């Protein structure tokens, strides 16, 4: 069975190439071509002997994704990429977020998602499978080849729950931070999670181990949405088995282990998570460990069945009224700031192409 060349760290690739009877430095050449120069396949690798290239073709492959569609926002310039892997059996999406000074790529770690968050289009898809480390990083390379620009930041906030694919996510971090590859600093990478007991602790232990020291500054974002356990369970079904008191303990562990402050992600749902008690609990939470709270607008998604999200919208006739929503949002943020909470309104981009937070659904064009 052939193995995906993109799925090897440089050390693993060196061992593979040596087993094949070639010098280890050839592995560095291959790694640089694939991960540093974004070669689009084995035949695009340069600087290696013909015999080695023939051996690679015979025994390996490079699971380079096919770009099936690119959508471009007329408002922000954000681009959404629909990818297919392995003869179109795996479908996923990534987003290139255009900033004023730098760009970021929002990458997927799974095909679909098994968590089932009711405010998220991906959560209402069927779960497909975990992406390999090679399939994760190759999304970034495909975007870089297409646009001609390297990303300044990478966020694991696309399709899927990264900590349910922990081994492959950690390996992808090692590949992305390798000096012979993309060479991005781990402090410019953020991994987002809905919060899974034991997984956050495992992640902290893995990225701070001696062998993984280059990825120790990877940031963690926690999808909070509400500080009330009962309400959170209605938004995020997995929260039933991952209660906030346990998650908070793991976030404290993560901070003490890594020294990196936590980001809390909070989708603003007026009438549901902006009461005075919500504000007081967020204020108290902000003093637990160094952190910042990113407030995110709710981005319209198709609600496939009756649930708490449809109730929130139906019970508030003004929910989609822009003047009402903006006023409530402004009041919420100002109240948090008055309590000395570090809070930011995370700007949304790509709403017009269904590329904003929670909108990825990996639909092929009809």
Just list the catalytic residues. 93, 357
Structural tokens at position 360: 């990825």
- In the DSSP assignment, the letter for residue 23 is -
Distance of alpha carbon 185 from the chain centroid: 16
Strand-pairing partners, residue 296, are 267, 346
Are 61 and 52 in contact by the 8 Å Cβ rule? The answer is no
Q: Is 250 helix (H, G, I), strand (E, B) or coil?
A: helix
Sign of the Cα pseudo-torsion (294, 249, 106, 180, in order):
positive
End-to-end CA distance of the chain: 34
Distance of alpha carbon 79 from the chain centroid: 16
* Cα–Cα nearest to 264, from 287, 231, 242: 287
Strand-pairing partners, residue 72, are 79
């Amino acid at each position: 069975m052939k193995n995906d060349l993109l799925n090897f760290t440089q050390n693993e690739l060196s061992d593979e190439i040596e087993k094949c009877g070639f010098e280890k430095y050839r592995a560095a050449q291959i790694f640089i071509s694939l991960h540093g120069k974004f070669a689009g396949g084995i035949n695009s690798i340069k600087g290696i002997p013909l015999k080695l290239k023939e051996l690679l073709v015979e025994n390996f492959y490079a699971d380079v994704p096919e770009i099936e569609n690119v959508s471009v926002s007329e408002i922000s310039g954000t681009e959404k990429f629909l990818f297919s892997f392995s003869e179109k059996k795996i479908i996923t999406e990534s987003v290139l977020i255009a900033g004023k000074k730098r760009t970021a790529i929002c990458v997927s770690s799974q095909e679909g998602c098994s968590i089932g968050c009711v405010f998220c289009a991906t959560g209402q898809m069927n779960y497909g499978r975990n992406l390999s480390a090679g399939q994760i990083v190759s999304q970034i390379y495909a975007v870089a080849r297409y646009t001609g620009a390297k990303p300044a930041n990478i966020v694991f906030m696309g399709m899927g729950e990264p900590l349910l694919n922990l081994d492959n996510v950690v390996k992808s971090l090692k590949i992305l931070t390798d000096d012979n590859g993309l060479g991005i600093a781990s402090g410019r990478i953020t991994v987002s999670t809905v919060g899974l007991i034991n997984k956050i602790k495992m992640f902290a232990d893995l990225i701070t181990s001696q062998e993984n020291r280059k990825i120790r500054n990877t940031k963690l974002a926690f999808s909070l949405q509400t500080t009330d356990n009962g309400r959170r369970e209605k938004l995020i079904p997995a929260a039933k088995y991952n209660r906030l008191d346990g998650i908070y303990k793991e976030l404290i562990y993560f901070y003490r282990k890594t020294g990196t402050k936590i980001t809390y992600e909070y989708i603003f749902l007026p009438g549901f998570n902006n009461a005075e008690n919500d504000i007081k609990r967020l204020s108290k939470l902000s003093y637990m460990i160094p952190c910042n709270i990113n407030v995110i607008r709710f981005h319209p998604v198709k609600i496939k069945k009756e649930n708490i999200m449809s109730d929130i919208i139906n019970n508030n006739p003004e929910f989609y009224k822009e003047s009402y929503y903006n006023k409530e949002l402004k009041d919420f943020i100002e109240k948090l700031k008055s309590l000395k909470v570090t809070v930011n309104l995370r700007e949304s981009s790509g709403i017009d192409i269904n590329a904003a937070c929670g909108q990825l659904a990996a639909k092929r064009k009809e």
